Amino acid sequence: MSTTSVSIEASGSSAAKTFSAAVVGASGYTGALLAELLMRHPALALSAVSSDTQAGTPVAAVLPRVRTDLDFCRHDDVAGVDAAFVCLPEGAAAPIVKRLLDAGSRVVDLSPDFRLSAEAYSEWYGEHPYPELLPGVYGLTELNRAQIAAAQLVANPGCYPTAALLALEPLHALGLQDVIIDAKSGVSGAGKAPSERTHFCSVDSDLLAYGIGGHRHYPELQAGLDIDGHGPALSFLPHMVPMQRGILETIYVRAEQHPTACELRKLYAVVYADERFVEVCDEPPRLRDVAGTNYCRIFVTVDERAGRIVLVVAIDNLLKGACGQALQNMNVMLGLPEQEGLL
Amino acid sequence: MSTTSVSIEASGSSAAKTFSAAVVGASGYTGALLAELLMRHPALALSAVSSDTQAGTPVAAVLPRVRTDLDFCRHDDVAGVDAAFVCLPEGAAAPIVKRLLDAGSRVVDLSPDFRLSAEAYSEWYGEHPYPELLPGVYGLTELNRAQIAAAQLVANPGCYPTAALLALEPLHALGLQDVIIDAKSGVSGAGKAPSERTHFCSVDSDLLAYGIGGHRHYPELQAGLDIDGHGPALSFLPHMVPMQRGILETIYVRAEQHPTACELRKLYAVVYADERFVEVCDEPPRLRDVAGTNYCRIFVTVDERAGRIVLVVAIDNLLKGACGQALQNMNVMLGLPEQEGLL
Amino acid sequence: MSTTSVSIEASGSSAAKTFSAAVVGASGYTGALLAELLMRHPALALSAVSSDTQAGTPVAAVLPRVRTDLDFCRHDDVAGVDAAFVCLPEGAAAPIVKRLLDAGSRVVDLSPDFRLSAEAYSEWYGEHPYPELLPGVYGLTELNRAQIAAAQLVANPGCYPTAALLALEPLHALGLQDVIIDAKSGVSGAGKAPSERTHFCSVDSDLLAYGIGGHRHYPELQAGLDIDGHGPALSFLPHMVPMQRGILETIYVRAEQHPTACELRKLYAVVYADERFVEVCDEPPRLRDVAGTNYCRIFVTVDERAGRIVLVVAIDNLLKGACGQALQNMNVMLGLPEQEGLL
Amino acid sequence: MSTTSVSIEASGSSAAKTFSAAVVGASGYTGALLAELLMRHPALALSAVSSDTQAGTPVAAVLPRVRTDLDFCRHDDVAGVDAAFVCLPEGAAAPIVKRLLDAGSRVVDLSPDFRLSAEAYSEWYGEHPYPELLPGVYGLTELNRAQIAAAQLVANPGCYPTAALLALEPLHALGLQDVIIDAKSGVSGAGKAPSERTHFCSVDSDLLAYGIGGHRHYPELQAGLDIDGHGPALSFLPHMVPMQRGILETIYVRAEQHPTACELRKLYAVVYADERFVEVCDEPPRLRDVAGTNYCRIFVTVDERAGRIVLVVAIDNLLKGACGQALQNMNVMLGLPEQEGLL
């Protein structure tokens, strides 16, 4: 075994890595997955993983997939890193993001704390501790690349808006009038905390339509579809489906213009021609084609009988909908190749 | 063990059963489930189960849940029964239904062969061998009870239309303008034949939007929503979800009138007040509340921001969406209590 | 609708029901399912459903499948019923069982509180408040029918022991030497309380071997296999599988005698010839053949290469492994046909 | 978008790749996954993907995850590659392997065609076309590294034997007497061909014990456990579990020596100290800790009551149990770092 064991560790070595990176908050799904991605990133060295409840414990004992010698530290102990990914609940993220920014780190915040305008934030969440920082640069990479490259703080989008806004972007030019987003998500979107709702026997063989009164991603979608204060009539209804990961959204649109299905596919092909992580496809996408990747796949057609545009869009909610896009954004912020460390 | 073994068989005895019943075509999910239901029905005696490919084999060897001593017979051998349930593929059902009708049996046909008008049938399926029998009495029990009671042949509705038409019925009075049915179904709806699409590894952890160009249930929905030749703009998009049974439909409606959510719930409560198998509920229904039963649960509300009515409706696709409703219809046809043999 | 609505309620009427029945503790899976079964039982009238946390709430609001007008009462309010099913956690059951016995009710206790001898109980659980009641009559119906018929209190067996002891019973005569029970269970066996272990994302696409150090069902198995103080070397290792319901046990046995597979099947056929709910089958049973029923299906063969008997046994853990057998026992206690109210 | 799009393709470039590689037979799960792994391998350039039924079609149209410009070629068109992975059914692999060997390629064969001795092969499969090539070098990398490094042909192990033989290896020294392998596998192990057995509705919520009479992996296990013609009494019983990927094996062992659990863990830690892809763990491994990786995780303990060693071992059946180990073997054959291209 001796001859090969030397080289085995080579690619895992952090000697050649350019930037130090921290995951702040690794008790949930996104923090754990980001730590795993960073371990394999060729230019970012995982230098800290925090969890206030697990501080002092070896990371690998709690997260066997993260094969590192690091122990968990406390959130407040994270300092001096080039790149910080904040994976904390809403409200808890803002003060820590502020501290890391003041200390000079580049920050991608995966919480909703910096996604909205000050007005929208106060309407949906209440008072914000740093309204002057609102809204952060919205990290939908394909749509905001230039601002992201120049930003110190990027607000990583919610999973549902990521899929919907990528799918709807090319239609803005047609005059959006009416948009219905019927979204289906895996259970990881509901987070890791055990609850009646996430119990296996509650989810398996069942479907849950939830957030009918108003899901917290609604204002984010609304802001993304609004142009000069005018947005379409927007309905957004998420469903929880018996699977762990993935979001599939079926979107029904009425627009002022009425292109054919063929014209629409050409439009989409042009808009996303240079994008590595967005694929326009000839039939409705499957989650298995994006699972474990940072890709977004979009299908567009026209329901001739009803005179309506229909879109089907698929992403992995934990990757393009969270950790993958966060890493994509950080790559852009650091001037690295955008796909570095991503599948 | 001797003391109780005598009484054990009592309730299974067919001595007291009033009518003889046959299942024609028990190779698929619906035929097998109907045979199981009939075994336990207090007034219908299971007297024949047919399968051309299994003829001669003991039923219980193939379908262990159907604890009967019957052997499978051939379809053509079914004769002289009071009640026949035809569970054959489209096209194959019609000639056998015709023969059974001529022989005097009451027939519930679970195929689409008798659901449509002669015009709609020829548009979607081609020529019908007995166009003079079209359309059969449409077996949505709650809406057509009187005609069903008088019929010799009932065309059992498709699973998707059953849920949608029950959910939409009370809204007809408001002037339906625009209807989008985003349907999610378990895999049993795709039938028992093995295919790439129904392979476990294709379904699990995935979602499939299918039939976008035009699902065979579209004309049935269209016919059910049409009033005097005027129907709403209708989109219907089914999705296959990683679960065996159940249909959940989320329906987005624009109508001429704009009642409040509260007014709508009152309307639904009135319309379905006397119905045992339709329940109007205060929050979106779950499949687990209808699984294994003949119930349909409906939730209605208004999306205030978009000015739209939203419905969520749930049924077990193999029961209220197929076998359960078939039995409910036969009970009505035979003058038996409507819920007999149903949970 | 009026013509049939009268008869619809007929079979649900409790007028003709002979005995009153209560479910004590309906917050978990077993209590809820027992309430549902009792609603449909022809001779037992559901007269009380208790839950200390839900007292005062309509049962149907919490458990939509239990279509009753009853409100939840407190455990202490249950009194004067002919038949009581106690579905409380270990330790909580004993005092309430005692009170109900003193008041004259017949009781089936689904907890482990009365299953063991006083010695075994104190070793595994600590001190028992009523050691003089230990062990209760062990409610494995097929093996203990006479004592159950005469009992006021029956200790309903655990789910794993029900399957294993039914499968092993015919082998006692061969001199059991070595028994390994490799058990696979659905998640409902872990109960309804949310936990990291029962989170959908923890269970789906995974398997958990648990209780390796000593599962609480071990002493119950040991007692069931012990004859005159001599039992086989026994290993019992349960696994949690990504499904809601069902137990499949693969059992590897060495015995003093070495019958052929053919002789074993004959032996099993004879032993269980008169049992409605035990079926000896020609190939390994599937859970789908017992799901939703009170049946136990057993396959027995010989692994010729290793000289070992191999058994595969399947039950629905919530029915034959809990509620179904509880009802079967109560039927026997009350002198009703044993299968009454069971599928 | 222009600034980053240049660098995006850099890491996918095959310019710097040292060896050309072909996947022969990409219609099934293993071929498709190998193509995906090779796309990302830093030193192996994917230069051909064959499928006789898909020849001429773009690979990416059929396998969207394999983002390549290649078209499928025919098996017979694969030639002149440094490294070939043969993913064909048993029997179909041998002639193509022979041709590739004759042409000078290094070959890893994922079929069972070269795993057994000529005697064992003829007993289980019939006559072999090239018995002089039997047995091939058995590619359990950790146990056979030196021979693999020197081989032109490596027979990649079956998924079940990979897990079992890694788990049992350290116990050979204790004198194995009796071994029971109770294996649980995801459905992908049954292959991609649709069948009644792999239909979603057959698998979901169910468990299948299969191959009781003799699974084709039995002789491979037997050969691996045999020392000087003496092997333990061996039982092997696989079960299909409702999940796509992963194998968990619970192994019950009696040995001549009786070490404590603590001694066993030390033994395992020593044996596997230098192995990157084998981890000895402190509690039973979970599939989620190995899913999508090439790792094998092993837990060892002693069941004190029965005096038996118990092992639990987990791998991803498509990676360490097939494609991952195939790539690990090819890395060794080519003198590359063993973990290159593997997670």
CA distance A287 to chain D (A): 11
With b meaning 16 or more CB within 10 Å and e meaning fewer, what string describes D329-340? Answer: bbbbbbebbbbb
Strands A278-280 and A296-303: parallel
pLDDT at C276 over 70: yes
In the prediction, which pLDDT does B135 show? 95
CA D71 from centroid of its chain's CA atoms? 26
Torsion angle defined by CA atoms of residues C159, C172, C268 and B1, in that order, rounded to the nearest 10 degrees? -70
Contacts of B243 in chain D (CB under 8 A): 204
Residue D6's pLDDT band (boundaries 50, 70, 90)?
very low
User: What count of other Cβ atoms lies within 10 Å of the Cβ of residue D9?
Assistant: 11
Kindly state the percentage of chain B with pLDDT values over 70. Answer: 95
Q: Which helix (H) or strand (E) holds D298?
A: strand D296-303
Q: Do C200 and A198 touch (CB under 8 A)?
A: yes
Q: Do B244 and D194 touch (CB under 8 A)?
A: no
pLDDT at B226 over 70: yes
Contacts of B292 in chain C (CB under 8 A): 292
Q: Do C209 and D248 touch (CB under 8 A)?
A: yes
Contacts of D5 in chain A (CB under 8 A): 274, 276
Mean pLDDT of B148-168: 98
With b meaning 16 or more CB within 10 Å and e meaning fewer, what string describes B160-195? Answer: bbbbbbbbbbbbeebebebbbbbbbbbbbbbebebe
Kindly state the percentage of chain A with pLDDT values over 70. Answer: 95
Least reliable range by pLDDT among A249-263, C325-339, D217-231? D217-231
pLDDT at C12 over 50: no
In the prediction, which pLDDT does B216 show? 84
Residue A16's pLDDT band (boundaries 50, 70, 90)?
low
CA distance C9 to chain B (A): 9
Please list, in sequence order, all residues whose beta carbon lies within 8 angstroms of the beta carbon of residue D87, skipping any fewer than 6 positions away: D23, D24, D25, D26, D28, D30, D31, D34, D110, D111
Residues 227-266 of B with CB under 8 A from A: 233-235, 237, 239, 241-246, 248, 250, 252
- B159, B201, B262, B323: which one is catalytic? B159
* Tens-place pLDDT, residues A215-238: 888 999 999 998 777 889 999 999
pLDDT at A44 over 90: yes
Residues 29-48 of A with CB under 8 A from D: 40
pLDDT at C213 over 80: no
* Tens-place pLDDT, residues B13-42: 445 689 999 999 999 999 999 999 999 999
Which residues of D are designated catalytic?
A: 159
DSSP state of C215: -
Which ipTM score applies to this complex?
A: 0.94
SS3 A27: coil
* Tens-place pLDDT, residues D253-271: 999 999 999 999 999 999 9
Mean pLDDT of B227-255: 94
Residue C91's pLDDT band (boundaries 50, 70, 90)?
very high
Contacts of C5 in chain B (CB under 8 A): 274, 276
> Is B300 within 8 Å of chain A by CB?
no
Both tokens assigned to C128: 């028992």
Q: Are C253 and C168 in contact (CB under 8 A)?
A: yes
φ, ψ dihedrals at A119, nearest 5°: -65, -50
Q: Do B337 and C11 touch (CB under 8 A)?
A: yes
> Is D293 within 8 Å of chain A by CB?
yes
Which residues of A are designated catalytic?
A: 159
CA distance B32 to chain D (A): 14
C-alpha distance from residue B195 to each of A196, B188, B204, C29 (Å): 35, 12, 14, 36
> Is A292 within 8 Å of chain D by CB?
yes
In the prediction, which pLDDT does C15 show? 52
Question: Helix C218-225 vs helix C159-168: angle between axes, to the nearest 10 degrees?
Answer: 20
Contacts of B339 in chain C (CB under 8 A): 8, 11
Amino acid residing at C236: F
Residue of D nearest to C184 (CA): D207
Residue D233's pLDDT band (boundaries 50, 70, 90)?
very high
For chain D, which chains pass the contact test of at least 3 CB pairs under 8 Å?
Answer: A, B, C
Strands B176-185 and B247-255: antiparallel
> What does the alpha-carbon distance between residue A312 and residue A246 come to, in Å, rounded to a whole number?
13
pLDDT at C14 over 70: no
Contacts of C284 in chain D (CB under 8 A): 208-210, 212
Higher pLDDT, C15 or B247: B247
> What does the alpha-carbon distance between residue A327 and residue B252 come to, in Å, rounded to a whole number?
37
pTM of the model: 0.95
Mean pLDDT of B251-279: 97
Contacts of A242 in chain B (CB under 8 A): 241-243
Contacts of D123 in chain C (CB under 8 A): none
Mean pLDDT of A88-94: 97
Q: Which helix (H) or strand (E) holds D31?
A: helix D29-39
| Strands lying side by side in the sheet with D296-303 | D208-209, D233-240, D176-185, D247-255, D308-315, D296-303, D278-280
Mean pLDDT of C15-20: 81
In the prediction, which pLDDT does B213 show? 76
Residue of A nearest to D41 (CA): A343
CA distance B52 to chain D (A): 18
> Is C194 within 8 Å of chain A by CB?
yes
Mean pLDDT of B111-138: 96
> Is C334 within 8 Å of chain D by CB?
no
Q: Which helix (H) or strand (E) holds A65?
A: none
In the prediction, which pLDDT does B7 show? 31
Q: Are A110 and A87 in contact (CB under 8 A)?
A: yes
pLDDT at C10 over 50: no
Q: Do C201 and A195 touch (CB under 8 A)?
A: no
In the prediction, which pLDDT does C93 show? 98
**Nearest by CB: A339 against D8, D281, D288:** D8
Mean pLDDT of C11-36: 85
> Is C205 within 8 Å of chain B by CB?
yes
* Tens-place pLDDT, residues A148-157: 999 999 999 9
* Tens-place pLDDT, residues C225-259: 987 778 899 999 999 999 999 999 999 999 999 99
Q: Do B1 and C338 touch (CB under 8 A)?
A: no
Q: Do D11 and A337 touch (CB under 8 A)?
A: yes
pLDDT at C107 over 70: yes
Q: Do A308 and B233 touch (CB under 8 A)?
A: yes
> What does the alpha-carbon distance between residue D285 and residue D277 come to, in Å, rounded to a whole number?
14
CA distance C5 to chain B (A): 7
* Tens-place pLDDT, residues D171-208: 999 999 999 999 999 999 999 999 999 999 999 999 99
* Tens-place pLDDT, residues D278-315: 999 999 999 999 999 999 999 999 999 999 999 999 99
> Is C13 within 8 Å of chain B by CB?
no
Mean pLDDT of A160-177: 96
Mean pLDDT of D101-112: 98
> Is B343 within 8 Å of chain C by CB?
yes
For chain B, which chains pass the contact test of at least 3 CB pairs under 8 Å?
Answer: A, C, D
* Tens-place pLDDT, residues D320-335: 999 999 999 999 999 9
Mean pLDDT of A105-122: 97
> Is A191 within 8 Å of chain D by CB?
no
Look over chain A and give the mean of its residue pLDDT values, rounded to a whole number: 93
**Nearest by CB: C187 against A195, A201, A242:** A201
